[in-house]
Structure 1
């Protein structure tokens, strides 16, 4: 719940974003844990496909991959919106628009995402070391691997937050009323 002090500190932008992130129209897409997992899984799959298409466009000079990226952008944005709606904008809202519980949850999500990204970076470093020990030619792999790791670092908090969201309590109706 937002305090009066927080409401006074919020700018017009903060109020609009808060209202947008707390709209209820998208609830059917993230109402259950299974749907949230599906949205995060779809977002991961769309991100992998978009990342691969972009790399094929830039590094592989494949023109058709650009059209693949164009086709993937709307579903990717929709999945992003579903996750943001499920988390009530936890990662999109400024600190002043979050209550204490949300701030603590944001810190937990960031720490968990940082830990997962750290393990992915370690795996990449070990993989690079193993490839170097074998003497394989890796000249063309540096940029795609680093770009993919950047994308994972950027989106990991969103995915972790989407998977960490708890079901909202059912509306309690008093049988005596």
Structure 2
């Protein structure tokens, strides 16, 4: 008996809900596969998502600190692009980080755990480097370091820690195996 690709109740007592099945179909839509079919395309989407995240956060920071209303225009353009890139990344990982655990098989659970572990290490290194720069600048009395309010450091750190697993999963995703013709029984 073959299991349907749209229904994967793996949770034992927890059966897939209507929402689970709908999200599984969205995250595994065959029509969207050409967008992220190769590692190069997935890397490009991850790069675009990182750039869009940085640009969006920069606009928000400038909007808040300078109180310039014109910054709403680029923000209004960036947010939909960021959302589309997020959707493409989620599709490229086949919903690895968005689907509930009961909808993932053992291999996908292991991939999600691996992406989370790598993302945790990468975020820790980046946060340690940032902390080191601030500590060093304070120690040497660097006047050239712009005064950055702690709230913005925390906002950027939060965004990075939140999105790092998605970026890592997008970079680690493997190409789909070529479909093999089914043998007649």
Q: TM-score, normalised by structure 2?
A: 0.87
Give the whole-Å Cα distance in 1 for the aligned partners of 2:111 and 2:10.
21
Give the whole-Å Cα distance in 2 for the aligned partners of 1:174 and 1:77.
37
Name the CA shift for 1:4/1:153 in 2 (closer, same or farther; >3 Å).
Answer: closer
Quote the residue 1:67 is aligned against. Answer: 73
Name the CA shift for 1:41/1:6 in 2 (closer, same or farther; >3 Å).
Answer: farther
Shift of 1:173: 3.7
**Where does structure 1 differ by over 4 angstroms across 4 or more consecutive aligned residues?**
3-8
From 132, 150, 158, give the equivalent of 2:158.
150
Correspondence 1:55 to 2:58? no
From 84, 106, 113, give the equivalent of 1:100.
106
Per mean C-alpha deviation after superposition, the further-off stretch among 65-74 and 118-127 is 65-74
Report if aligned partners of 1:21, 1:84 keep a CA contact under 8 Å in 2: yes
Report if aligned partners of 1:14, 1:93 keep a CA contact under 8 Å in 2: yes
RMSD (Å), alpha carbons: 2.2
Correspondence 1:165 to 2:173? yes
Quote the residue 2:84 is aligned against. Answer: 78
Shift of 1:133: 1.1
Per mean C-alpha deviation after superposition, the further-off stretch among 56-65 and 5-14 is 5-14
Shift of 1:134: 2.7
Give the whole-Å Cα distance in 1 for the aligned partners of 2:10 and 2:114.
25
From 128, 136, 139, give the equivalent of 1:133.
139
Report if aligned partners of 1:117, 1:156 keep a CA contact under 8 Å in 2: yes
What whole-Å deviation, never above 9, does each CA across 1:31-69 have from its counterpart, x for those lacking one?
Answer: 111111111111111111001001111123222222211
Where in structure 1 are there 5+ consecutive unaligned residues? none
Where in structure 2 are there 5+ consecutive unaligned residues? none
Q: TM-score, normalised by structure 1?
A: 0.90
